[in-house]
Amino acid sequence: MLLKLYQAGQPILRKPAKTLTREALVSDKVQGIIDFMIATLRDAPGVGLAAPQVGESLRIIIIEDKRSYHEQVPPELLKAQGRRPIRVQVLINPKLQVIDPSPSLFFEGCLSVEGYVAAVSRAHSVRLDAWDRHGKPVAFTAHDWHARILQHELDHLEGKLYTDRMLERSFMTVKNFALLWRKALSAKIAQAFRN
Ligand code: ZN
């Protein structure tokens, strides 16, 4: 089943999401939500999805970046972004710690801000502590594009959207991004949009 993607303006996207107990996590209801979130993310398609985006105030995020998604991205941009394929990750009650705050500036979009993108500065490396979908603790460090996706999704669990953090002047339609900015690297983005 595919879930409805809630768009900016829906109040649930602005509320902190609720922590799950292990008991709630293993319930058929929550396991079903996780399966439907994976299907919804793949259908969109997107690289990350947080439960509030499908109308569930729960601390669940799904991440997946398939190699096939990279075919549309210029190779030099993929390299600059440090973007590599990520196998599907289901992360419950995730906690994020920045381990390398040096800024990385690239465009990003959001399935809840359909039709637009903007440049957002994110920390280069993070440590993530969470549970997997069975309640087993997982911990790892993530860099570059993986770290960006995690920071974006963790923001959703606090009721934040990328528009709260973007370089305001870089906000644009996906159409104009594809037409004019899809190859832009950090230096060009900074030069064009920093106030
Ligand atoms: Zn998003």
Task: State the CB neighbour count (10 A cutoff) for residue 18.
Answer: 15
Tell me, what's the pLDDT at 42?
A: 98
The residue segments making up the domain with residue 140 are 11-100+124-161
As a whole number of angstroms, the distance between CA 108 and CA 189 comes to 12
Catalytic option among 56, 114, 153, 158: 153
Asked if residue 176 belongs to a domain, the reply is no
Q: Kindly give the distance from the C-alpha atom of residue 109 to the centroid of ligand 1, in angstroms, as a whole number.
A: 7
pTM, rounded to two decimals:
0.97
Distance 146 CA to ligand 1 centre (A): 14
The token pair at 144 is 């570059």
- The structural domain count of the chain equals 1
DSSP 84: -
Asked if residue 60 lies in contact with residue 37, where contact means CB atoms within 8 angstroms, the answer is yes
Q: Are 133 and 90 in contact (CB under 8 A)?
A: yes
What CATH number has the domain bearing residue 95?
3.90.45.10
Our answer to whether residue 153 is catalytic in this structure is: yes
- The predicted structure's pLDDT at residue 194: 86
Domain-embedded: residue 191: no
How close is the Cα of 107 to the center of ligand 1, in Å? 13
- For residue 109, being part of any structural domain is answered with no
* Interior angle at CA 187, CA 167 and CA 44, nearest 5: 55
- Would 86 be classed as within a structural domain? yes
- Of 164, 142, 161, the residue nearest 152 (C-alpha): 161
Burial of 52 (0-12, 13-18, 19+ CB in 10 A): buried
In order along the chain (195 residues), what is the average pLDDT of each group of 10 residues? 97 98 98 98 98 98 97 93 97 98 97 98 98 98 98 98 98 97 94 89
CA of 112 to the centre of ligand 1 (A): 6
d(CA 175, CA 46): 17
Report pLDDT for 72: 87
